[in-house]
Structure 1
Amino acid sequence: MFKHAVALACAGLMALPALAQTVVTESPFWAAEVAKGDMDAAPERVPDVPYIVDLAAKGREFGTQGGTLRTMVTRSKDVRQMVVYGYARLVGYDENYKLRADVLRDYDVEEGRIFTLHLRPGHRWSDGAPFTSADFQYWWDHVAQNTELSPNGPPQVMRVGNDVGDMTFPDEHTVVVSFPRANPTFLQQLAQASPPFIFRPSHYLKQFHVDFNTVDEMEEMIDSKRVRGWAPLHNKLDNMYQFDNPSLPTLQPWMPASVSGNSRQLFVRNPYFHRVDARGTQLPYIDVVEMNIVGSGLVAAKSNAGEADLQARGLDFRDVSILKKGEVDGAPYRTFLWSNGAASQIAIYPNLNFADPVWNKVIRDARFRRALSLSIDRRMINRALYFGLGREGGMTALSQSPFFDPTNLTEWAIYSPGLANEMLDEMGLTQRNKAGVRLLPDGRPMEFVIETAGERQEVGNALAIITDTWRDIGVKLIMRPLDRDILRNRVFSGVTMAAVWFGWDNGIPQAFTPPDYLAPTDQVFFAWPKWGQYHQTHGLAGEPIDIPEAQRLLDLSDTWRETEVETERSDIWREMLAIHADQQFGIGILSEAPQPVVVSDLLRNVPEQALWAWDPGAHFGVHRVDEFFFAEDEEVIAQVSK
Structure 2
Amino acid sequence: MRCSLDYLTTLSETLFYIKVDKERCSVSEKSKLSRRRFLQLAAGATSAVALHAPIVNAAPARKPTVQEMTYTEAPELEEMVANGTLPPVAERLPKNPRVVPVRDEIGQYGGTWRRGYSGVSDMQGPAKLIYAFGLHFDISADLETTEIVPGLYDEWTQNEDATEFTFHMREGLRWSDGELFTTRDVQFWYDYYQNGDLGSTREVLNIGDVPMELEVIDDNTFTLRFGAPNPLLPFKIARDDTEGQHGGPTMGAPAHYLGKYIPDHELGDQELIDAAMAEHEVSTWQELFGDGGTPRGPIAWWARNPELPVIHTWMIQDPLPFNDPITMVRNPYFYCVDEEGKQLPYIDRIEHRLFEDASVFDLWVVQGNIDMHERHVAAANFSLYKENEEAGNYRVFLWKGATTSAYHPNTSHDDPVLRELFSNPKFRQAMSIAINRDEINNLIYNGLYEPRQASPVTGSPEFDAEFEQKWTEYDPETAMALLDEIGLEVNDSGTRLRPDGEVLAFRLMHSQQGNQAASDEITLVVDYWNAIGLSVSEDPVERSLYEERVTNNQVDVGYWGFDRSLLLQADPQAYIGGSGQQTYAVRYRQWYDNDPAGVEPPEDHPIRQLRALWEQAATEPDPVERQALMQALIDVHKEAPLAIGTVGEPPAPVIVSNQMRNVPDGIMSDTTLRNVRVANPEQFFFVE
What is the TM-score of this pair, normalised by structure 2? 0.83
Cα distance in 1 for residues equivalent to 2:207 and 2:487: 44
Match of 1:137 in 2: 187
Question: What number of residue pairs does the alignment pair up?
Answer: 606
2:510 maps to which of 434, 452, 477: 452
Structure 1 residues 600-609 or 453-462, which shifts more? 453-462
Letter in 2 for 1:355: D
Cα distance in 2 for residues equivalent to 1:496 and 1:54: 46
1:399 maps to which of 452, 455, 458: 458
Match of 1:206 in 2: 259
Cα distance in 2 for residues equivalent to 1:24 and 1:476: 66
Q: Residue 169 of structure 1 contacts residue 175 of structure 1 at CA under 8 Å; is this kept in 2?
A: yes
What is the TM-score of this pair, normalised by structure 1? 0.89
Match of 1:167 in 2: 214
Match of 1:74 in 2: 118
Letter in 2 for 1:282: Q
Cα distance in 2 for residues equivalent to 1:554 and 1:579: 11
Deviation at 1:224, TM superposition (A): 6.3
Q: Residue 522 of structure 1 contacts residue 533 of structure 1 at CA under 8 Å; is this kept in 2?
A: no
2:399 maps to which of 338, 343, 354: 338
Deviation at 1:326, TM superposition (A): 2.0
SS in 1 for 2:153: coil
Q: Residue 440 of structure 1 contacts residue 446 of structure 1 at CA under 8 Å; is this kept in 2?
A: yes
Q: Which string of whole-angstrom CA distances, capped at 9 and with x for unpartnered residues, describes residues 470-491 of structure 1? A: 3342223311101212222222
Letter in 2 for 1:509: L
Q: Residue 237 of structure 1 contacts residue 248 of structure 1 at CA under 8 Å; is this kept in 2?
A: no
Letter in 1 for 2:628: D
Deviation at 1:386, TM superposition (A): 1.6
Q: 1:215 and 1:54, CA in 2 relative to 1: closer, same or farther beyond 3 A?
A: closer
SS in 1 for 2:146: coil
1:413 aligns with 2:493: no
Equivalent residues in 2 for 1:247-266, closer than 5 Å:
247-260=307-320, 261-266=322-327
Deviation at 1:545, TM superposition (A): 4.2
Match of 2:365 in 1: 303
SS in 1 for 2:395: strand
Cα distance in 2 for residues equivalent to 1:497 and 1:583: 18
Match of 2:674 in 1: 618
Deviation at 1:220, TM superposition (A): 5.8
Cα distance in 1 for residues equivalent to 2:455 and 2:191: 41
SS in 2 for 1:160: coil
1:47 aligns with 2:47: no
Q: Residue 523 of structure 1 contacts residue 532 of structure 1 at CA under 8 Å; is this kept in 2?
A: no
Q: Which string of whole-angstrom CA distances, capped at 9 and with x for unpartnered residues, describes residues 19-64 of structure 1? A: 7533101320211110011111112211101111233xxx521111
Q: Residue 312 of structure 1 contacts residue 598 of structure 1 at CA under 8 Å; is this kept in 2?
A: yes
1:568 maps to which of 618, 625, 632: 625
Cα distance in 2 for residues equivalent to 1:74 and 1:375: 33
1:628 aligns with 2:681: no
2:107 maps to which of 63, 79, 95: 63
Letter in 2 for 1:69: W
Match of 2:148 in 1: 99
RMSD, aligned CA? 2.4
Q: 1:267 and 1:565, CA in 2 relative to 1: closer, same or farther beyond 3 A?
A: same
Q: Residue 65 of structure 1 contacts residue 285 of structure 1 at CA under 8 Å; is this kept in 2?
A: yes
Letter in 2 for 1:155: R
Deviation at 1:227, TM superposition (A): 4.0
2:134 maps to which of 82, 90, 99: 90
Q: 1:224 and 1:539, CA in 2 relative to 1: closer, same or farther beyond 3 A?
A: closer
Match of 1:280 in 2: 341
Deviation at 1:81, TM superposition (A): 3.3
SS in 2 for 1:415: coil
1:119 maps to which of 169, 173, 184: 169
Cα distance in 2 for residues equivalent to 1:216 and 1:126: 25
Match of 2:491 in 1: 433
Q: Residue 64 of structure 2 contacts residue 154 of structure 2 at CA under 8 Å; is this kept in 1?
A: no
Q: 1:509 and 1:307, CA in 2 relative to 1: closer, same or farther beyond 3 A?
A: same
Cα distance in 2 for residues equivalent to 1:214 and 1:338: 49
Deviation at 1:245, TM superposition (A): 1.2
Cα distance in 2 for residues equivalent to 1:536 and 1:274: 35
2:435 maps to which of 373, 376, 390: 376
Q: 1:251 and 1:370, CA in 2 relative to 1: closer, same or farther beyond 3 A?
A: same
Letter in 2 for 1:285: Y
Cα distance in 2 for residues equivalent to 1:238 and 1:546: 42
SS in 1 for 2:383: helix
SS in 1 for 2:156: strand
Deviation at 1:294, TM superposition (A): 1.9
Cα distance in 1 for residues equivalent to 2:650 and 2:579: 27
Q: Which string of whole-angstrom CA distances, capped at 9 and with x for unpartnered residues, describes residues 337-366 of structure 1? A: 221112x1x100000011111121111110
Q: 1:352 and 1:226, CA in 2 relative to 1: closer, same or farther beyond 3 A?
A: closer
Q: Residue 336 of structure 1 contacts residue 596 of structure 1 at CA under 8 Å; is this kept in 2?
A: yes
Equivalent residues in 2 for 1:553-564, closer than 5 Å:
553-564=610-621
Q: 1:112 and 1:618, CA in 2 relative to 1: closer, same or farther beyond 3 A?
A: same
Q: Residue 286 of structure 1 contacts residue 629 of structure 1 at CA under 8 Å; is this kept in 2?
A: yes
Cα distance in 2 for residues equivalent to 1:79 and 1:548: 34
